[in-house]
Amino acid sequence: MGEEKIKWYKSPTVTTPILVIFVLIMLRLSSNVLASQQNGNIFLNIAIVQIAVLVLPCIFYYFIKERKLSTPVFLSVLKPSHIVFTIFTLLLFISGSILIQYLYIIGGGQGTSIAGFFDSVTDLSAEDSNIGIIISFIVVPAVCEEFFFRGLVLSEYRSLGSANAVIISALCFAMLHCSMDNFPIYFFTGIVLGFVTVVTRSIISAIIIHLVSNTLSIYGSDMFLRIIIQKSNKFFVFFLILVVFGLSLLFVFSKLEQIYFSYAEKPPITSIPPKSFPNISRVFLSPTFLLLIAVFIFITVLR
C-alpha cells in the first residue's frame, strides 16, 4: 500500500504540472517586481529571473525525483542527418508561423506578444538596448525554456507516449506565455519544438529553432506581412504561404522517413516508448493538470 502511494506521488502526471504551476506563479510575481523596479539593468535582471525561475526548479525537481526522471533528457549532439532535418523543420516552422500570423491579421488581430511576461517592463524601442534584447529575449529564453519544456516536461511525459509528451509540453509552453489571443501560435511553436526534439533525440535542435523564433518575433515584425497583404491580393498571399508550408511539410516528412529507417537499423534507445492513446485520459485529465489549466486561466484573466 505504502509502495503504491510513493509511486503515485512520483508519477509525472502529478509532479510535472505542479512544477509548471510553480514556474507560472513565480514568473507572474517576478514580472510584478520588475515592473516596480526603478534602478539597475532591467535586461540583465530579466535574464537572471528567467534562469532562476526556469532552470533552478528543474535542478531541484531532478533531485526531488532522486535523479531518476521517467526517461532520459535529450542532451545528445546533433548528427549530420539531424541537422538537415532541423533546417527543414525550421522552414516548416517559419512558414507555419507566417500562415498563423496571416490569419491573425486577416481576423483583425494584433499579432504575438514579443516579451511575454515582461512586455510591460521593458522599452524594446530603445536604441542602446540591442545587446540586452538579444540576451534577455532571444538567447536566454531559447536555452532556458527548452531545458525546461523539452528537456524536463517532455522527458517526464514520454513514458506515457511520445505524442502525449509532445502535446502536453506544447500546452505547458503555450500556457507559460499567458495569452489567450496568442495561444494558437505558441501551441504550434511548442508542437514543432517537441516534434523536432523527439525525432532528433536532442534539445539542441529545438534550441536552434527557438533562437530563430525569438529573433523573428523581435526583429521580423509582422509589419512586413501587413504591407504585403495591403499591397497585394490577400488570397494570392494566402495561397503562396500555403504552398511554401506544404512544400516544407513534404521535405520534413521525406527526411523523417530517412531518419527512422536509420533508427530501425540501429536503434538509438534500448526501449520503445508506449503507445500514447491508452494514456490520454491519464495525461490530460489528471487533477494536477486540470489545476494547471485553472491557474493559467486565473493568471491570464488578471493580467
Each residue's pLDDT expressed in tens, for the chain with a length of 303 residues: 333 344 666 789 999 999 999 999 999 888 888 877 756 678 888 899 999 999 999 999 999 888 888 888 888 888 888 999 999 999 999 999 988 888 888 877 665 554 455 655 565 555 556 788 888 889 999 999 999 999 999 999 999 999 999 999 999 999 998 888 889 999 999 999 999 999 999 999 999 999 998 888 887 766 667 777 777 778 888 898 999 999 999 999 999 988 888 877 676 665 677 889 999 999 999 999 999 999 999 988 776
CA distances from 204 to 36, 66, 86, 219 (A): 35, 25, 10, 22
Q: How many domains does the chain have?
A: 1
What pLDDT does 4 receive? 39
Q: What is the pLDDT of residue 19?
A: 97
Identify the domain containing residue 148 by its residue range: 2-302
Give the pLDDT confidence score for residue 147 in this predicted structure: 95
Give the three-state DSSP class for 18. helix
116: left (phi over 0), alpha (psi -120 to 50) or beta: left
Dihedral angle of Cα 147, 149, 152, 155, to the nearest 10 degrees = -120
Q: What is the DSSP string of 58-122?
A: HHHHHHHTTT--SS---BPPPPHHHHHHHHHHHHHHHHHHHHHHHHHHHTT-----SSGGGTTS-
Distance CA(155)–CA(146), nearest Å, equals: 11
CA-to-CA distance for 166 and 130, rounded, in angstroms?
Answer: 33
Q: CB-hemisphere CA count at 13 Å for 79?
A: 12
Can you tell me the distance from the alpha carbon of 4 to that of 97, in angstroms, rounded to the nearest whole number?
A: 44
